[in-house]
Structure formats: structure tokens, C-alpha cells
């Protein structure tokens, strides 16, 4: 899915002439060792604000595990094999694939690797992706290059799965089920905040997307891990850290021996990941809580993100992202105070410049306004099929 690109603390309306962000850089052909036994291999992606995804290769004496093997499609597949060759590795050396979360730039190549190598495929317990429509399986010829573009378009339009409430940090992170995830909003379906619908791709495009899925199958995990599960990679134990917020099924991996955090899209070096609101929970609360969780990991010293360069100050980056959301939340309160009772669409139009209007901006606004509502700082009620919000009067005000 798309990560909305904004600088932390930068209202979306600021100047358009910005230096290129590291997450936007085109995929380099270089393969670099970024931590002991951990290779960074960049795969090309074509999504708003993103130029590459980092596939990490974790080397051990049996071969390697790869994390987040890129978008579906022949271009990414070719780059993946070429990067392996640069590192002196072959496809069949891959014994494990780990997917940090259910966005196509992360899971796209996973099903094909599993199919061709028999690799184990590890995700969080709640992982799910688009479901294959069996009725479309009669398509006989597939133009892979053309389909790739369709998949990319879909990736750009992807609005993310639904969200359930985060249990207390001290409690169980794993009460989510795959079924919770499957209740994501369908194409053309109403949004939970009302007043708009999710965009429906053209019939031709929907058919093409389904055909694409036959070649680059949505991955079916062979092992679903829980918060705290241990996974042996690169000859040492890593711990699964469940980090819901960007998606419900987001997983980071932590290597306490070297203080290395594979941070996926949870913590990125210069941009903030999109937080999709849900009718069922406070996604922003979950996100902020699990940011604290990774910042507080004992001895964390190196973040390996899914987009952008390795970064060394994970707690500092967490502080900056939290600050961004605090500013956003404050801006939302101010807008609500200024315009009075309003729905999510209206609020998002006040918060985002017109070029960003649409379901993504609304979904992000929904996450923030629900966060305030659940904290008792904004009132919410239904008007027809639409949720309406108003800043709660200050005590004595």
C-alpha cells in the first residue's frame, strides 16, 4: 500500500519543491552488508513517494532467509534474482521468506519464491491479503508485463486492511484473527466514516489484477508467529515484535545480540507511515503504543527499515514520529474548533491540500479523530450514514 509521504511535523500543504527523500531513491543495484550476516538488496517499486523496497537477506550455513521480497511482477522478480546473483546466491538458496505486513510491495514476490523453492513463509498471525476470486481462474493467457502495471496501480490504490483494538501493552498482542483482517473494506464499498466510498477500479483492471494473482499468488504463510515468538535467522535468534498501526498484522524483528531491529514500515527514516482508521479500534493508539515498544527494546542500536537507509537512532526517530502525530492531532482539534460539527471528509479537506484529497487522506483523518474521540476530547455522533465530530467543550469553558 502507499505510504503517504510527509515530513514529520510538516503539514501536508507545505512547499512542493522538496529535496528527494531517501525513501524515494531508485533501487540501487548494490548489495551491502548492513549488519553481521544481513544484506540489504533494493528492489524497484512504483508507488507514491517510494522508489524502492529493501529486501534483507539473512545469511546462514543453510542459505538465506529474505525479508519483504518486493512487489509482484516480472520487473521486481528479475531485480530480485539479479541482486541474489550479485551476492553470489541463487534463488534456491532461499529457505525462508519473512513478510513484515500485508502490503503488496512487501509480500509481492513471497508466493512465487515459496512456489519455486519450497521456502518456509513466515508472517504475523493476523496476516492476510487480497483473496483470490475463484471464478476468474478460467483466464488462459496472461500478459505479465501488462499485468504488472495493473498490480502496481492496485498497490497505489490499496487502502489497507481493517483494524481491531490493541490490547494493553502488558497483555496479549495476539488475540487478532485472520478473520478480523479479512473484514477489510472491499472495492467500491462504503467507508466506515460515511460520506464517501472506496474507489472501484474499472472492470478490465479488476480482471487483470485477478489474473496477475494467478502468477504471483498471494502468499499463504507456512508459519504464523505471535508477539515474542523466536525465529532463528542469520545464525541467531530474532524476536517477533507485533507492531499494529500501519497495518494490523505488522511485524518487526529484533536481534538482541546485535541490537538490530528490522523495522518494516513501522519506523521509517524520514517519512511517516500511513495510519488507516477503523471503525473497530483506535489504530493511532496502537501505533503510538507500539512505537514506544520498539524504542524501549533493550539495547536497540540499528534500525533496518523497509524503505530508505539503515538508521542508528531508533528512539530518536520514534520521538520525531510521535511529535508529528501530536501536531496532526492538535491541527485537527483546531480545525474542528474553527468549523464546528463536521464529518471526516470535510475535516480531511481542511487538513490536506486538494491534491491529497481522497480515501487515503480521509482514512488518516479518521484515525486521528477516532483517537481524540476515544480519549474523550472530541464528541462523535451519527447523522444518517455519516459520523460527525465536534471538539468537546473545555471544562468550565
**Residue among 195 and 358 whose Cβ is closer to Zn ion:** 358
The span from the CA of 176 to the CA of 128, in Å, is 12
Instruction: Establish if 154 lies at the interface with Zn ion (CB under 5 A).
Output: no
Q: CB of 276: closest distance to Zn ion in angstroms?
A: 10
Nearest residue to Zn ion by CB is: 103
Q: CB of 111: closest distance to Zn ion in angstroms?
A: 17
Q: CB of 307: closest distance to Zn ion in angstroms?
A: 6
**Residue among 245 and 343 whose Cβ is closer to Zn ion:** 245
List the grid coordinates of 329.
492531532
Q: CA angle 122-124-127, nearest 5°?
A: 100
**Residue among 52 and 285 whose Cβ is closer to Zn ion:** 52
Q: CB of 299: closest distance to Zn ion in angstroms?
A: 26
Which of 133-141, 175-183, 194-202, 259-267 is the region at the interface with Zn ion (rule: CB under 5 A)?
Answer: 259-267
List the grid coordinates of 361.
487522506
Q: CB of 103: closest distance to Zn ion in angstroms?
A: 4
Instruction: Establish if 250 lies at the interface with Zn ion (CB under 5 A).
Output: no
Instruction: Establish if 265 lies at the interface with Zn ion (CB under 5 A).
Output: yes
**Residue among 6 and 103 whose Cβ is closer to Zn ion:** 103
The span from the CA of 60 to the CA of 74, in Å, is 27
Q: CB of 118: closest distance to Zn ion in angstroms?
A: 26
Instruction: Establish if 103 lies at the interface with Zn ion (CB under 5 A).
Output: yes
Residues forming a β-bridge with 380: 389
Helical H segments across 191-343, by residue range: 203-215, 283-295, 314-339
The span from the CA of 101 to the CA of 124, in Å, is 8
List the grid coordinates of 36.
553481521
Residues forming a β-bridge with 65: 58, 96
List the grid coordinates of 134.
475463484
Site mask for Zn ion (CB under 5 A), range 306-325, x = bound: x-------------------
Instruction: Establish if 364 lies at the interface with Zn ion (CB under 5 A).
Output: no
With 0-12 CB in 10 A as exposed, 13-18 as middle and 19+ as buried, what is 135? Answer: exposed
**Residue among 103 and 325 whose Cβ is closer to Zn ion:** 103
Cβ proximity of 295 and 311 under 8 Å:
no
The footprint of Zn ion (CB under 5 A) covers 103, 105, 265, 306
Amino acid at each position: 500500500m502507499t505510504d503517504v509521504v510527509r515530513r514529520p511535523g510538516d503539514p501536508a500543504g507545505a512547499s512542493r519543491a522538496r529535496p528527494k527523500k531517501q525513501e524515494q531513491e531508485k533501487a540501487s543495484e548494490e548489495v551491502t552488508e548492513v549488519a553481521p550476516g544481513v544484506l540489504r538488496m533494493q528492489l524497484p517499486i512504483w508507488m507514491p513517494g517510494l522508489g524502492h523496497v529493501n529486501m534483507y537477506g539473512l545469511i546462514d550455513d543453510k542459505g538465506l532467509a529474505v525479508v519483504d521480497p518486493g512487489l509482484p511482477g516480472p520487473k521486481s522478480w528479475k531485480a530480485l534474482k539479479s541482486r541474489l546473483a550479485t551476492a553470489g546466491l541463487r534463488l534456491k538458496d532461499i529457505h525462508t521468506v519473512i513478510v513484515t505486513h500485508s502490503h503488496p510491495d512487501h509480500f509481492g514476490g513471497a508466493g512465487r519464491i515459496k512456489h519455486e523453492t519450497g521456502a518456509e513463509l513466515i508472517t504475523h498471525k493476523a496476516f492476510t491479503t487480497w483473496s483470490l476470486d475463484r471464478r476468474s481462474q478460467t483466464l488462459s493467457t496472461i500478459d505479465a508485463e501488462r499485468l504488472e502495471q495493473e498490480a502496481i496501480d492496485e498497490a497505489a490504490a490499496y487502502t489497507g486492511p481493517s483494524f481491531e483494538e490493541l490490547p494493553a501493552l502488558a497483555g496479549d498482542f495476539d488475540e487478532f484473527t485472520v478473520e478480523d483482517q479479512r473484514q477489510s473494506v472491499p472495492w467500491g464499498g462504503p467507508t466506515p466514516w460515511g460520506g464517501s466510498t472506496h474507489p472501484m477500479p474499472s472492470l478490465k483492471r479488476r480482471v487483470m489484477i485477478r489474473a496477475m494473482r494467478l502468477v504471483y499468488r498471494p502468499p499463504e504463510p507456512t508459519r504464523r508467529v505471535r508477539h515474542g515468538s523466536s525465529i532463528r535467522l542469520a545464525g541467531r535468534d530474532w524476536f517477533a515484535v507485533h507492531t499494529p498501526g500501519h497495518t494490523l498484522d505488522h511485524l518487526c524483528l529484533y536481534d538482541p545480540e546485535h541490537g538490530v531491529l528490522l523495522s518494516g514500515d513501522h519506523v521509517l527514516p524520514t517519512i511517516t507511515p500511513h495510519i488507516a482508521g477503523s471503525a473497530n479500534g483506535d489504530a493511532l493508539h496502537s501505533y503510538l503504543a507500539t512505537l514506544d515498544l520498539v524504542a524501549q527494546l533493550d539495547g536497540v542500536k540499528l534500525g533496518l527499515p523497509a524503505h530508505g537507509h539503515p538508521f542508528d537512532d531508533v528512539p530518536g526517530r520514534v520521538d520525531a514520529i510521535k511529535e508529528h502525530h501530536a501536531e496532526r492531532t492538535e491541527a485537527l482539534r483546531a480545525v474542528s474548533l474553527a468549523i464546528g460539527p463536521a464529518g471526516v471528509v470535510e475535516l480531511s479537506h481542511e487538513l490536506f491540500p486538494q491534491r491529497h484529497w481522497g480515501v487515503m487522506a480521509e482514512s488518516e483523518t479518521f484515525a486521528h479523530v477516532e483517537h481524540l474521540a476515544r480519549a474523550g476530547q472530541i464528541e462523535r455522533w451519527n447523522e444518517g450514514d455519516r459520523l460527525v465530530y465536534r471538539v468537546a467543550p473545555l471544562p468550565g469553558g
